[in-house]
Chains A and B, each alone.
Chain A
Amino acid sequence: MMNLLLNLINGISLGSVYAIIALGYTMVYGIAKMLNFAHGDVIMVGAYICYCSMSYLNLPPVVGVILAVIVCTVLGIVIERLAYKPLRSAPSLAVLITAIGVSYFLQNAALLTWKSDPKVFTSVVNLPSLSLFDGRLTISAVTIVTVLANIVIMIALTTFTGKTKMGKSMRAVSEDNGAAQLMGIDVNRTISMTFAIGSGLAAIAGVLLCSAYPTLMPTTGSMPGIKAFTAAVLGGIGSIPGAMLGGILLGVIEIFAKAYISTQLSDAIVFAVLIIVLLIRPTGLLGKQIREKV
């Protein structure tokens, strides 16, 4: 019983990381209609920045996290400006390949800067674990912080897109780019802003991910990136609550599959769930059903 509860909590925690990454995918997809495959590698950059500021510069963890967020936000804006903006009117596949090029670039730049040997990431959370039920259930502080961070981000983002002018512009651009432009919305600025937010969140996700799973390599971001992308699609790509739901579901399914079915086949199970969900709901759990007009 305690085991089940622990797995559930761990699943929600891993899912929270996926959800934060998935938010970046989903927001960028909603607004720029592109699959940003480099997103996973921004996570890795964020984790490295935090690692360096803590290990080399001996800065406190909080400063490390803030630095990571700043660097990744700038990185996101720069990537968008240099690589994606010139392709605004290009076919989506060209943008996809460019995103893959950016992903290669980030991975190999990281390889040159930080070398291929894995770094042991020290957790940014230095709090004691939480012990419940007379010590029968121990939840690590990272797990709790991750889930809390996820909740805070979710509330902040919902408020942001619902209440602020920028947030409303984002929703408008994602609904109809052309019409938004005609209404006087600066589409380029809105897209930049989206990349900035998505990349900043990626940095947080990177730090949280590496705090829980402390091996850091240039390819660290790839698999969580793909998983988070899967989560975004599972929830309905383009939908912010969908990314949350998809991320958490995916995390829970993954941990449960590892615990109760097979560690080796957990990835296959996760992806199989995605396929089954899409066959039943072809646009994801919370995605909009689109009917083509004839």
Chain B
Amino acid sequence: MKKMKKSTRSKLITYAMVAAGFVVMQGLSAAGMVSNSLAGQLVPICVYISMAISLNLVVGILGDLSLGHAGFMSVGAFTGVVVSMSLRFLPPLARLVLAIGIGGVFAGIAGVIVGIPVLRLQGDYLAIVTLAFGEIIKNLLNNLYVGVDKKGLHFSMKDAQALRLKEGTVLINGPMGAPGIEKLSTFLAGFVLVLIVLTVTLNLVESRTGRAIMAIRDNRIAAESVGINVTKYKLMAFVTSAGLAGMAGALYALNYSSVLPKKFDFNTSILILVFVVLGGMGNIRGSIIAATVLTILPEALRSLNDYRMLIYAIVLILVMLVTNNPFLKTNWVMLKKRMAFWRKNKANGGAADGQKK
């Protein structure tokens, strides 16, 4: 048998892990063994996994720090709400798919608008501008009023009265957010979304486009010298990431009966960044694991009441201190090398055995 490429094997393990997670959770909930609080976390977990993977595309693969990812999530979320609530004549599944799709497109457009100025900057200046855009998006949504009646959609930046609805419903009500959402999201939809986000990201990384993006991360000047249009590929990564975040945002919004704009603030952006950094920069599987564990952890600590966020903070600090400890790091590299050596020896031994036969 032809030996499988290392990256292919790694990809398969990731897919298998996600599929196994889904099957196990489905099985457990069918058997009634999933607690209510965990069942309520299933869709958010899928959302956060998707968010973490998409942010990893910018932070880990492209190498630019983004502190405003929740902004794109919110664009997707509110677009998704408007789409799903104004197309009530369609079957639920079609509404969900359209909401996620169009949510992704609108977030992608927001990605272009934000990306063009942002990507001209570098380093911490780029980071602060993504933060600024995240806050601007939140601030604008806080003042956005959308309603629907027989004549179609109405928009206003003033208040709900200014919509002048005739027997219609207010879909987005400024700082009160989207009040009456019909819950369309399902765990299955979340699983499918994770698969889509995963496939797009992994396939992108291992392609001409992905290599160009990583080349820019590793050495921008060298990338230009071999004829790579830096702005184009940076923007491509940024917009793809924004679009995927928008899809996740739509799924998120349609999982609740109401959603507030302030849910998608700086803290949410940071939360997702924490998943990416703890999972490992550019490490997609790590993002998935980190997003899952860190979404369940605060829930699991619920019995500790007020102390849980404090413990979360301490765990976060300790994990960063331990994983970046120079002493442990060196030893970990040594151990890995030894493992690789041992594995190689074993493989060689196996091959030799094969030849004997």
- Point out residues on A near B: beta carbons under 8 Å: 29, 35, 83, 86-87, 89-91, 93-94, 96-98, 100-102, 104-105, 107-109, 111-112, 222, 226, 229-230, 233, 237, 262, 264-265, 267-268, 271-272, 274-275, 278-279, 282-284, 292, 294
The answer to whether A100 touches B270 (Cβ under 8 A) is yes
- Which B residues from 249 to 300 make CB contacts under 8 A with A? 266, 270, 273-274, 277-278, 281
Q: Can you name the residue of chain A whose Cβ is closest to the Cβ of B277?
A: A97
Cβ contact within 8 Å between A275 and B132:
yes
**Please, which residues of chain A bring their CB within 8 A of the CB of B309?**
104, 107-108, 111
CA distance A64 to B309 in the complex (A): 29
Q: Is the CB of B317 within 8 A of A83?
A: yes
Q: Complex: how many Å from CA A86 to CA B327?
A: 11
**B128 contacts which chain A residues (CB < 8 A)?**
229-230, 233, 274, 278
* Cα(A281)–Cα(B281), bound, Å: 30
> Could you tell me the distance between the alpha carbons of A127 and B263 in the complex, rounded to whole angstroms?
41
Residue of A nearest to B309 (CB): A108
Task: Please classify how large the interface on chain B is, using the bins under 10, 10 to 19, 20 to 34, 35 or more.
Answer: 35 or more
Q: Report yes or no: A279 in contact with B274, Cβ–Cβ below 8 A.
A: no
User: Hey, which chain A residues are within 8 Å of B117, CB to CB?
Assistant: 275, 279
Q: Is the CB of B266 within 8 A of A226?
A: yes
Minimal Cβ-Cβ distance residue in B for A29: B124
B310 near A109 with CB under 8 A, answer yes
The reply to whether A265 and B277 contact each other, CB–CB distance below 8 Å, is no
Q: Which chain A positions have C-beta within 8 A of B310?
A: 105, 108-109, 112
Whether the Cβ atoms of B306 and A111 lie closer than 8 Å is: yes
Q: Which residue from B133, B277, B320 sits with its C-beta under 8 Å from A275?
A: B133
B320 touches A94 (CB 8 A): yes
Main SS of the interface on chain A? Answer: helix
* A97 partner residues in chain B, CB cutoff 8 A: 273-274, 277-278, 316, 320
- When A93-B65, A264-B139, A278-B121 are in contact, do A100 and B266 touch as well, CB less than 8 Å? no
Q: Which chain B residues have a beta carbon within 8 Å of chain A's beta carbons?
A: 59, 65, 117, 120-122, 124-125, 127-129, 131-133, 135-136, 139-140, 142-143, 221, 266, 270, 273-274, 277-278, 281, 306-307, 309-310, 312-314, 316-317, 320-321, 323-326
For A226, the chain B residues whose CB sits under 8 A away are 131, 135, 266
> Do A98 and B325 touch across chains, with their CB atoms under 8 A apart?
no
- Cα–Cα, bound, A4→B131 (Å): 31
Q: Which residues of B contact A89 (CB under 8 A)?
A: 326
A284 to B278, CA, bound (A): 31
Contact A267 B139 (CB under 8 A): yes
Contact A267 B135 (CB under 8 A): yes
Are the CB atoms of A230 and B321 closer together than 8 Å?
no
Q: Is the CB of A237 within 8 A of B124?
A: yes
Question: A227 → chain B, closest Cβ, in Å?
Answer: 10
Asked whether, in the complex, the Cβ of B320 is within 8 Å of the Cβ of A98, the reply is yes
Report how far A271 CA is from B71 CA in the complex, Å: 14
A283 and B125 contacting across the interface, CB-CB below 8 Å: yes
Is the pair A274, B129 in contact by a Cβ cutoff of 8 Å? yes
Write the nearest CB–CB distance from B339 to chain A, whole angstroms: 24
Q: Are B312 and A104 in contact (CB under 8 A)?
A: yes
What 16 additional pairs, Cβ within 8 angstroms, besides A94-B277, A271-B136? A93-B65, A97-B277, A97-B320, A100-B270, A104-B312, A105-B314, A105-B317, A108-B309, A108-B310, A112-B306, A229-B128, A233-B125, A264-B142, A268-B136, A282-B125, A284-B125
Complex: chain A residue closest to B175, CB-CB:
A264
